[in-house]
Structure 1
Amino acid sequence: MSGKTIVNPRYPLRINVGFLINQPVGSYREIPFEFEQLTLWDDLPASDFSGVARVSKTGQGILVDAAFQTVTTLECVRCLTAFQQPVQTQFQELFAFKFNQVTDSGLVLSEDGNIDLAPLIREYLLLEVPIKPICRPDCRGLCLECGANLNETTCPHQAQVFVD
């Protein structure tokens, strides 16, 4: 199936899959997404966001098979410097047609036929963000005495630390 996807600027990751409800099982559409900046989440700023969601009709509901990538800003746990980190994720989720149909995720297709992918994408991307982000493998961190960023400068305290 082909068709033009119209993006709502208030909900850029909301897709209408109502057209699939009356289609035969196996019908699908691939929906591409591409945004320079995406500011949906305070805890996950996203730039160069792109991906594709393939929505397919199954006997139980609408299957979303998606892959997304973005670049987010993180803070290094060693030197506290902000840095850019590429993050990517893939997922499959089934949105059931009715509340009485059970899916592993408990997701149900809304009556208006819209699926907002934003909460799912946020959750899956956050799972890919390192728990302790480090700007680079050889990050030297901060001086414990004066707080100087040891990646950018040296300080007199470092000589004492290595001598002791």
Structure 2
Amino acid sequence: MSQLNTIFSLDKVLNTNTDLNIEEKGILDIKYSGTVASTESDATMTGLVTRDGDYVLIELIINFKINSECSRCLKISKQEKEAYIDEKLYIKKDNDYDINFKEENIDIQPIISEKIIDSISLITLCMKDCNGLCVVCGKEQNSSVCKHIEKNLKESPFSSLSELDL
């Protein structure tokens, strides 16, 4: 499997106002906050690049799979995701992605990375009712629940504070 191609020639789009159809397959190389794009299957990117006057419009749909760490139990779960890109980039002005339209080819990797990271949630759960890890021993609580004996509060040096009448 090869890397997802993100470099395109916009010669026809810029000079003849011809649309550029994009259909690409490949591996994404994106890592973010405990989440990694899956290398087991290809990501697909389809869309269109068009010119409309002073700007280039990039419209893409990217389907991909991620391996994400559960925020509670740290188990890796696989998810299918979809990211939409609808960017208007002005040809004669600077843009946020440092894309230079004077060059022969442009690389839209920064746009793709930003939109994919936006589509990934910061808190990922392996299942809705994930119990997480045991606070005492660190064992995963989804398969079996730990039954630790709670410590007596009198053992704490601060236990006398609970008797204060505030």
Count of aligned positions: 145
Residue in structure 1 matched with residue 137 of structure 2 by the alignment: 146
Q: How many Å apart are 1:94 and its aligned residue?
A: 2.3
Q: How many Å apart are 1:107 and its aligned residue?
A: 5.7
CA contact (8 A) 1:96 1:108 kept: no
Q: How many Å apart are 1:108 and its aligned residue?
A: 4.5
Q: Which runs of 5+ in 2 are unaligned?
A: 151-166
Q: Indicate the SS of the match to 2:42.
A: strand
Alignment partners' CA distance in 2, 1:41 and 1:126: 8
CA contact (8 A) 2:132 2:141 kept: yes
Output aligned runs, 1:61-72, within 5 Å.
Answer: 61-72=55-66
Alignment partners' CA distance in 2, 1:125 and 1:108: 18
Q: Indicate the SS of the match to 1:22.
A: helix
Output aligned runs, 1:16-31, within 5 Å.
Answer: 16-24=9-17, 27-31=18-22
1:11-67 deviation digits (Å, cap 9, x = unpaired): 72111111222113xx312111212x33x2343424431121301011113211111
Alignment partners' CA distance in 1, 2:78 and 2:49: 31
Larger Rg: 2
Q: How many Å apart are 1:115 and its aligned residue?
A: 2.3
Q: Aligned pair 1:58/2:52, yes or no?
A: yes
Runs of 4+ deviating beyond 4 Å: 105-108
Residue in structure 2 matched with residue 93 of structure 1 by the alignment: 87
Residue in structure 1 matched with residue 128 of structure 2 by the alignment: 137
Alignment partners' CA distance in 1, 2:73 and 2:53: 52
Q: Aligned pair 1:12/2:1, yes or no?
A: no
CA contact (8 A) 2:5 2:25 kept: no
If the length of structure 2 is used for normalisation, what is the TM-score? 0.74
Residue in structure 2 matched with residue 124 of structure 1 by the alignment: 115
Letter in 1 for 2:11: G
If the length of structure 1 is used for normalisation, what is the TM-score? 0.75
Alignment partners' CA distance in 1, 2:145 and 2:97: 54
Q: Which runs of 5+ in 1 are unaligned?
A: 1-8
